[in-house]
Every structure is written in structure tokens, then in C-alpha cells.
Amino acid sequence: MKVSGILFVVLVACVAVSCRQKDIRVHTIHVPDMTNNAAVQAVGTALARVTGVTASNILINPEQKTVMVTYDSLQAGHKNLEFAIAEVGFRANEVPAFPGGVKTATP
């Protein structure tokens, strides 16, 4: 009985140590309506508010109208990123812009 108790403790310890703490992933998002600096700012701010994303892990390329985000997928999914952009009024990949977003008009 003592041996089985020790084996159980060792098994529980192995499982606890092997559990993932983070799952870092990179997702590229096409934002076709990101046409000016105000749009770039709005998209960056929206993404930085998503749990699992930090501002330093957001690379915005206004010329290609893409955003590359490094995020922890145990805290957010790639659709959370796309919906965060859509909520501020910009289409993100296949997610349409939400009506009433804060999208800034092109000059």
C-alpha cells in the first residue's frame, strides 16, 4: 500500500509539472480599412486590451494593412483578436466591422 501511495504522489507531481502555463502563438490579421494613423492607433489599442496580448507583441504594417500579433492562446483565441478589431469598426480577416465602431474616416 505504501508503494502505491508513493507512486500516486509521483504521478500527480509529474502531471502538475507538465501542465502548460502558456501557449504562445502568432496570428496575422488582414485589416483592409486600416488607411491612416488614427486607424493604426485604434487597432493597436483594441488589441492591447485583449487578455494575453501585450502592446510590444503587436506589429502593425499599414502599407500591407496587416497586423501580426503574438499572444497566449490559453488566455485568448485568434477570433478574440479579430473581434477586438471588428468592435472598433474595422473588418478583420473574415470578421465584418461592427456597426457603430469608432472607425476613423480616411482623409
Is-above-0.85 flag for pTM? Answer: no
Q: What is the pLDDT of residue 100?
A: 77
pLDDT at 7: 57
pLDDT at 41 (0 to 100): 96
Contacts of residue 101, Cβ cutoff 8 Å, sequence gap at least 6: 86, 87, 88, 89, 90
Divide the 107 residues of the chain into consecutive groups of 10 and give the mean pLDDT of each group: 61 58 95 95 97 95 98 96 97 93 55
The pair phi, psi for residue 92, each rounded to 5°, is -130, 110
